[in-house]
Amino acid sequence: MLNLILSKNEHMSLEILSYPFLFIALFFESFVLVTFLSAPARRRRAGASAEGDALPTVAVIVPCYNEEATVRRTAESVLALEYPTDKLSLVLVDDGSTDGTRTAMERFRAHPQVTIIHKERGGKHTALNVGIATTEAEIVGCLDADSFVEPDTIGHIIPCFDREQVAAVTAAMSVHLPSNILQYMQNGEYLFGIAWRHTLASVNGLYVTPGPFSFYRRNIVKALGGFRHGHQVEDMEMALRLQRHGYAIENAPRARVYTEAPSTISQLFKQRTRWTSGFLRNVLFDYRDFLLDPARGALGTLVLPLALISIESGILLFAVALVTTGADIVHAVTIRSGMPFSYAYLPSLSTFDWFYFPATFFTLLAAIVVAAGISLIIIGQRISHTPSRLAHSLCSYLLLYGLMAPLWLTRATADVALGKTRSWQ
């Protein structure tokens, strides 16, 4: 029996083993909350609007592979951006699509702001490089073909390039019209990410420039050799390469972009396994010199090490929770064996005595970590002014994320350890 194998002392030992990881999670969330209140973060939230004759030329590049269903709406959202039309262009790059993407793109052939390119299949990074080579714009934006932007988005992004050191700017990403509990869970995660990226930008600690609407100085990207495969996460590899060469990555929390989120568990696990394994391979292999390097500032000494620890702690805490919960269930069933079912298993809330609720230090610490996470989701929604059903996103996130994330973290860690690469299409 599980409850016999797992003694009380062993049960406590498992909880004690979890304490360091809970403290690390609490420390990181506290760091984000405190940094959110710092003067640099407040100045970034104040922001500015892009205006005047000195505005830079901007080209938005949309790499497409089998995006027949979404590319038209994506292109239309770019062409609706509130920016001088003589300084804004759109480059649609068909990366060897096999569906009707080519036909959908050709609708924009006559538009004076649009350039259309068809090429053989080579991967997203090659499509981005072809698009960059086609334009002479000072600033290039990369937008996934399943994402859509608010008209005022670019007005919040361009002012972030006022400092010459800034080579890239990220936007505030959320889920486009979530329709099921899985997408609401992801929306809660993305709102958390808005607060997280906004805060880390204050200490130049960003290590990814997400595909949905990140902007770059074209001359810097070209000087660094353009985008690379980057273990299937070219946006993360580019961000780390920019950091290696001493550039800064900014964040515009009010620049809103919406992306189509996976609607099934299978699609979600493929996407997150790719993201996590790509992060591990980039940080542990290609950019391992960043880790604990004081010259990299908060990125090397704090952000990347904690990100690595969070992956493995997520797996460990999930395993501990499974074992201890299983033991408690077996123990409860054993004690109640022989009792009438209605008496043993259907207690009335009116007779429940909260005095006997097991409020251990472990449960208290876990509750504080969850409360801090909820606060960051709410902050992310507020600073980005993202319209969303916050209650739906919070409930879905709390209900599902802790159960699902450890599974793709485990899968990605195993893939890296075994040298396995999965196709993400």
* Domains of the chain by start residue, with CATH: 40-263 (3.90.550.10)
Asked if 141 and 215 touch (Cβ cutoff 8 Å), the reply is: yes
∠ Cα 73 386 158 (to 5°): 70
d(CA 421, CA 66): 22
CA 270/CA 197 separation, integer angstroms: 23
pTM of the complete model: 0.87
Pairing of strands 214-217, 248-259: unpaired
Assigned token pair, 278 = 């790509």
End-to-end CA distance of the chain: 44
| Tens-binned pLDDT, residue by residue, of the chain (425 aa) | 444 445 555 555 656 666 676 777 777 777 777 777 777 777 767 666 666 558 999 999 999 999 999 999 999 999 999 999 999 999 999 999 999 999 999 999 999 999 999 999 999 999 999 999 999 999 999 999 999 999 999 999 999 999 999 999 999 999 999 999 999 999 999 999 999 999 999 889 999 999 899 999 999 999 999 999 999 999 999 999 999 999 999 999 999 999 999 999 999 999 999 999 999 999 999 999 999 999 999 999 999 998 998 898 888 878 877 877 776 676 666 665 655 555 555 555 455 555 555 556 667 777 878 888 899 999 999 999 998 889 999 999 999 999 999 999 999 999 999 999 887 66
**Alpha helices, H only, 282-389:** 297-298, 304-336, 341-345, 361-384
415 within 8 A of 421, measured Cβ to Cβ: yes
For residue 178, the model assigns a pLDDT of 95
Q: Are 146 and 121 in contact (CB under 8 A)?
A: no
Residue 347: the pLDDT is 55
Q: Please report the pLDDT score of residue 328 as a whole number.
A: 65
Between CA 90 and CA 88 the distance in angstroms is: 7
Nearest to 383 by CA among 187, 153, 194, 175: 194
Burial class (CB in 10 A: 0-12, 13-18, 19+), 314: buried
- CB-CB neighbours of 162 under 10 Å: 9
The confidence score (pLDDT) of residue 321 equals 76
pLDDT for position 25: 74
CA distance linking residue 161 with residue 338, whole number of Å: 71
Tokens 């262009």 belong to residue: 89
For residue 95, list its beta bridge partners: 119
Structure tokens at 353: 């005595």
Instruction: Tell me the β-bridge partners of 63.
Output: 93
Report the residue count for the chain.
425
Distance CA 121, CA 166 (A): 32
Q: Give pLDDT, residue 184.
A: 97
CB atoms within 10 A of CB 117: 18
Please give the backbone phi and psi of residue 108, each rounded to the nearest 5 degrees, phi first.
-100, 10
Which SS3 state, helix, strand or coil, does residue 377 take?
Answer: helix
CA distance 185 to 395: 8
Q: What angle do CA 388, 393, 394 make, to 5 degrees?
A: 125
Helices 8-36/361-384 angle, 10° precision: 30
Say if residues 252 and 156 touch (Cβ distance below 8 Å): yes
Helix runs in 114-152, H state only: 124-134
Round to whole Å and give the CA distance between 316 and 300.
24
Q: Which two tokens stand for residue 21?
A: 């990881």
Quote the DSSP letter at residue 230.
Answer: G
